[in-house]
Amino acid sequence: MDIFWHGQSCFEIKVPINQNEQKIIVIDPFSPEHTGLKIPSLTADVLLITHQHLDHNNSKAIKGKFLLIDRPGEYEASGVFVQGIPASHGNNGKEELGEITIYTIEAEGIKMCHLSDLNQNELTPEQVEAIGDVDILMIPVGGTYTIDGIVAPKIINQIEPKIVIPMHYMLPGLKIGLKDVDNFLKAMGQENIEPQPSFKIKKQGLPAEIKVVVLKP
């Protein structure tokens, strides 16, 4: 599979079905007007929306006849298995930010987990059990509206993925005040990572020890 990050929590995941066909999963497309970031032209077979905030729910930007998933539950579409798990967006000052949906996605023998705008200091035992064994974890690290780069390693230790992809952090042009990715990389002891435009992985290529992958939009 090929994984692309387009900024904030927006991912595009291309999963080959056979030599001539692939399925495309898109997660959390954002509003360019709200974020200040550009969103590319995206087509999806499966669209996941983790919560109804403008930097996560721009489904109108996505082309194709996609299956829209925007709440907890269990779903299946063309060999892609999705589970939605409820979690908390927490607070920003006195403002209650509501609920989010964590998604696990199983495709091509690989299990991914997208933590949305998680703003809990730790996952509950019930959430950890529901998430289960994860190969690839997409985790917010920018703070303000989510956990930051200091709390993120604690969540990673709870899940114990093989690959970690940070998301939801400061980028040039972003109108939302977030921290950059550096604090997270320092906390993980991974300060000299070169960002890459995409990440290609197969089941047999998963590392034995945890690996941090930084993507550039």
Q: Cβ distance 87 to 120 under 8 Å?
A: yes
Which domains, ranges and CATH numbers included, belong to the chain?
2-212 (3.60.15.10)
The pLDDT score that the predictor gives to residue 175 is 94
Residue 145, number of CB atoms within 10 A of its CB:
20
> What is the C-alpha separation between 10 and 5, in angstroms, rounded?
6
pLDDT in tens, 183-192: 999 999 987 8
| Mean pLDDT for the stretch of residues 24-28 | 97
Helix (H) / strand (E) element for 50: namely: none
Tell me the average pLDDT of the chain.
93
Query: What's the token pair of residue 140?
Result: 């917010």
Residue 167 has pLDDT above 90, yes or no: yes
Identify the weakest region by mean pLDDT among 54-58, 98-102, 136-140: 54-58
| Mean pLDDT for the stretch of residues 184-212 | 94
Q: Which residues contact 109 (CB under 8 A, 6 or more apart)?
A: 203
The pLDDT score that the predictor gives to residue 91 is 60
> What is the C-alpha separation between 159 and 175, in angstroms, rounded?
31
The pLDDT score that the predictor gives to residue 94 is 55
> What is the C-alpha separation between 17 and 25, in angstroms, rounded?
13
The pLDDT score that the predictor gives to residue 77 is 85
pLDDT in tens, 89-128: 766 665 567 789 999 999 999 999 999 999 999 999 999 9
Please choose, from the candidates 33, 112, 87, 27, the residue with its C-alpha nearest in 3D space to the C-alpha of residue 62: 27
Residue 148 has pLDDT above 80, yes or no: yes
